[in-house]
Structure 1
Amino acid sequence: MHLDYIFDPLCGWCYGALPAIVQADRHPDISVELVPSGLFAGEGAFPMNAGFAAHAWEADQRIASLSGQPFSEAYRANVLGGNASRVDSGPATLALTAVRLTAPERELEALSAIQRVRYVAGRDNGDPVVVAEVLEDMGLDEAANLFAAPDEKLVQANRERIGTGRAGMARFGARGVPALVLDKGGARRLIGTDVLYGDPDALFARLEAA
């Protein structure tokens, strides 16, 4: 089975889904491909504001209760309360594509680190400097260098990945992220994401039954 995981690195629900995606990636019968949607990138980016911050924190508490993923007070104060910050997943998405081109086997690990620097460490992962430090701290020097000075290959690859994510969402009627598209025996279908929060066995059972 092949699973396209359509996500955005600044999406709280995607962060909550991460443990289940990691478990799926480790399953011997499942291959997982990360497909960014660009939800908060480019035209989708916007300055942080009090209304969005309040909405996000309310949703984050629900995500935490369903998934067990931590959302720290440092995140609430420094990221949601950081009036100078932007909700912009462009840098994080570009960094993940740089990892995809240089060390693809570590892309899911890099996504986890980029999410945790936001939700746990309380640092703005919409800031290219913060994102670069994450890659460097992971020893992903080639990806960090490519991210710092993106060439046409990286820019094009990133554009294509986002295009693939958006096309997949449109084709299968996904209304938001995260979204799961299962390819099983050549048949592709959208899988409900409720199974991403809670017992990993529920996800495996859903995929087997699809």
Structure 2
Amino acid sequence: MVNVHYVFDPMCGWCFGAATLIESLSNNPEINLQLHPGGMRERAPIEDSFRQHILAADQTIADQTGQTFGQAYLDRVASDQPVILDSFITAQAILAAQQLDGQGAEMLKRIQLGHYQQGRSVYEADTLAELASEMGIEAEAWQQAMKGAEHDVMPAVNQTRQLMAAHGLRGFPSMLVEQNGQWQAITVSQYYRRPDAWQALWQTLTQA
């Protein structure tokens, strides 16, 4: 079993670009994927003057990663509708889902799709509850898990920052492999649009 530490932010566009790579790891029985949320933004509205920059950056991400940004999301950013980025309540939801049968990676995927493809307000607790319901999580269990995870968010974010500092990681997404007492950084961006190379990398690492 290989321990893989994934440093990310739910509201990071490049992390959405890497989503298919991460999903393949979460589905690999030889890999223990550990999620480390970064705490990039706390309930931060996108200013009107910054919206065109966001759209241009998203186009760059799409071009380089092959990921698709949904029309509902693009229309929302281009309009006068509010777009609020909240790394903390989304991280809370991921931690809550992880407590419920280890579904953190699936919740991250749902949040990213909800935001970047469906244009949903993933900064709202009700929307996150809808995502949990779509995953088959019962409402009462979800509310209890969210309540418990509320106190875990800042410790998790602080742990992520310490991990990044200790290993010289800069920005999101970042990744570390912990194996046989050794740590190795993986440059995720080298594998955008290279799924075969990504699979070959992990086949080599899991057989080491």
Counterpart position of 1:63: 61
Aligned amino acid, residue 74 of structure 1: A
* Equivalent residue runs for 1:96-111 within 5 Å: 96-104=94-102, 106-111=103-108
Distance 2:141 2:8 in 1: 20
Instruction: Tell me how far 1:185 sits from its aligned partner.
Output: 1.6
TM-score scaled to structure 1, two decimals?
0.85
CA distance in 2, matches of 1:18, 1:99: 17
Q: Sort the Cα spacing of 1:46 and 1:155 in 2 relative to 1 into closer, same or farther, 3 A.
A: same
Unmatched runs of 5 consecutive residues or more in structure 2 = none
TM-score, length basis structure 2: 0.86
Tell me which residue corresponds to 2:128. Answer: 131
Q: Deviations over 1:83-124 (max 9, x none)?
A: 5332212221111111111221x2211111111111111112
- Quote the residue 1:35 is aligned against: 36
Change (3 A) 1:91 1:81: farther
Match of 1:94 in 2: 92
| 1:77 corresponding residue in structure 2 | 75
Seen in structure 2, the aligned counterparts of structure 1 residues 135 and 34 have a Cα distance that, compared at 3 Å, is same
Structure 1 segment 181-192 matched on structure 2, within 5 A: 181-192=176-187
In 2, Cα distance between the equivalents of 1:126 and 1:165?
A: 21
Distance 2:53 2:96 in 1: 31
The answer to whether the 8 A contact 1:21-1:196 is kept is: no
Structure 1 residues 171 and 199, CA gap change in structure 2 (3 angstroms) = same
Q: How far apart in 1 are the matches of 2:200 and 2:194?
A: 10
Identity level (%): 31
The Cα offsets for residues 144-196 of structure 1, whole Å up to 9 and x where unpaired, read as 31266x14xx2332222212211111111211001101112211132212234
Quick one: structure 1 residues 100 and 194, their matched pair in 2 at CA, closer, same or farther if it must change by over 3 Å? same
* CA deviations over 1:53-88 (Å, ceiling 9, x no partner): 222211211222232221122102224635533221
In structure 1, runs of 5+ residues without a counterpart are none
Worse overlay, 26-35 or 75-84 = 75-84
**Which residue matches 1:116?**
113
Contact 1:180 1:191 in 2 (8 A): yes
* Pairing 1:11-50 to 2, within 5 Å after superposition: 11-41=12-42, 45-50=43-48
Counterpart position of 1:180: 175
Alpha-carbon distance in structure 2 between the residues aligned to 1:57 and 1:143: 37
1:114 is matched by which residue type in structure 2?
I
Q: 1:204, CA displacement in angstroms?
A: 4.2
Q: Deviations over 1:8-39 (max 9, x none)?
A: 11111111101011112233432211111111
Q: How does 1:186-201 map to 2 (within 5 A)?
A: 186-201=181-196
Runs of 4+ in 1 over 4 A off after TM superposition: 204-207
Give the total of aligned pairs.
203
